[in-house]
Amino acid sequence: MAGLKGLADKAKRLLGKNPDKAREGIDRAAEAVDQRTGGKHRQTIDKAAEKARQYAESGDAPRGEQEGGRQER
């Protein structure tokens, strides 16, 4: 898992330097997935893209979530 942590750290640094490009990439990815699924999962894709945009802008995981995407209880 040390490799994943290093990759995550590198991604955070790049996001901090290029938030506009990160948002563009998130939007493109969301559009591509939406097209591939025929719009069947549009709400889920939009929600995930919004959380990714929030992460890109803040550099922190969205509130209520821990590392690994699990919800705090």
Q: Residues 35-47: pLDDT tens digits?
A: 999 999 999 999 9
Q: Is 29 exposed, middle or buried (0-12, 13-18, 19+ CB in 10 A)?
A: middle
pLDDT of residue 33 exceeding 90: yes
* pLDDT at site 45: 95
pLDDT of residue 40: 96
Per residue in 7-26, pLDDT (tens digit) is 667 777 776 777 788 888 88
User: Would the pLDDT of 54 be above 90?
Assistant: no
